[in-house]
Amino acid sequence: MPTDQRPTTSIDLFASVTECGCAAKVPAQELAGLLRGLELPTSPAVLVGPDTLDDAGVYRLSDEQCLVQTVDFFPPVARDPEDYGRIAAANSLSDVYAMGGTPLTALAIVCFPSQLVRQGVLGDVTRGAVEKLREAGCVLLGGHSVLDPQAKFGLAVTGLVRRDAMLTNAAARPGDVLVLTKPLGTGVTIMAVRAGLAGAEQERAANRTMATLNAKAAELALRCGVRCATDVTGFGLVGHALQLARASGVALELGLEGVPLLDGVAAFAEQGLLSAAAYTNRDYAGDAVRFDDDVPEPARDLLCDPQTSGGLLLCCPPARVAELLAGARAELSAPCGVVGRVVEKSGGPTIAVHRQAVAVATAGGAP
């Protein structure tokens, strides 16, 4: 069933969970604490490990070829089982795309209540996931399942990336332009759907953007000389941008008015339709992020809103921005936007958030 149709199943998966999608992630601050003091097994072949909090790990197989590995799963993020499967698969695959890689194989991770298994819901979820794997050219090899009172589904994905084409979150350079390839607002929209405050088209739009693969965005980024990227998921735009800035040793400026948003999300944020993860994301950012006084409080919340299967945050060389934006208009189904720029690290906050869009000169001469 296409994601732009109303669900026909009588099952509403939101009724079975307390947290949804990437909002269920362990807070970033607590994850960072878990790794402190641990001596992790490593190898000279590990090119990207856990130290930079990147989207996936990268292991060198040869001078040219590298292995990309990731795992991602979460509770239902849509009411309809097939939509949930599509979104969970797109989200899992995104980590490989964010590294510039091509997904090859996947293993399913299933935690499901026995009643929903008997009712065929797990089969519907898997059907949706397989649809996205087929679109990605990725093979499902198998998986593992356990009975669990709260449903969770996702994939462990293995891919390949050429070493000279690898994207990481540690390669940003001052002068790079920050481009986001999907609109923000899935977290507050999900909360609005659960509260009965989102319209049918708003729900469909959120499901469509979450189920959209980041494959084309990654291909476009590589064509335009991008070498630094991350996908925006459970820690929100600010949280993932902060991890990128720290890994790269730079600072960032974000411009609120340049950030693409799903329809209606500003109103949802004003109504306080936020998950607990939005607040833990703001706590994680702390003093490392400074908001200008004229940035409204609901907008600050939106920048910390946990996203599920969000877009790629790309650090584009300024001479290639016009090419990237033109390609995005022609090839991407979701609106993208220039959300900021990379600057030299100084003694101030790592991220400065302004209300106005950040003016960026492109090769075509237009900001």
**DSSP-assigned letters across all residues of 348-363:** S-SEEEESSPPP---T
Q: Where are the beta strands (DSSP E) in the chain?
A: 46-48, 57-60, 65-74, 102-112, 139-147, 152-162, 177-180, 228-231, 251-255, 289-291, 312-316, 337-343, 351-354
Q: Residue 39: which residues within 8 A CB-CB, separation 6 or more?
A: none
Q: Which of 22, 66, 224, 228 is catalytic?
A: 22
Classify 274 as helix, strand or coil: coil
| Total residue length of the chain | 367
Distance of CA 184 to the CA centre of its chain: 10
**DSSP-assigned letters across all residues of 170-189:** T---TTPEEEESS-B-HHHH
The question of whether 22 is a catalytic residue gets the answer yes
Say if residues 306 and 21 touch (Cβ distance below 8 Å): yes
Distance CA 277, CA 252 (A): 23
Identify which of 185, 111, 118 has the alpha carbon closest to the alpha carbon of residue 154: 111
Residues assigned a catalytic role = 22
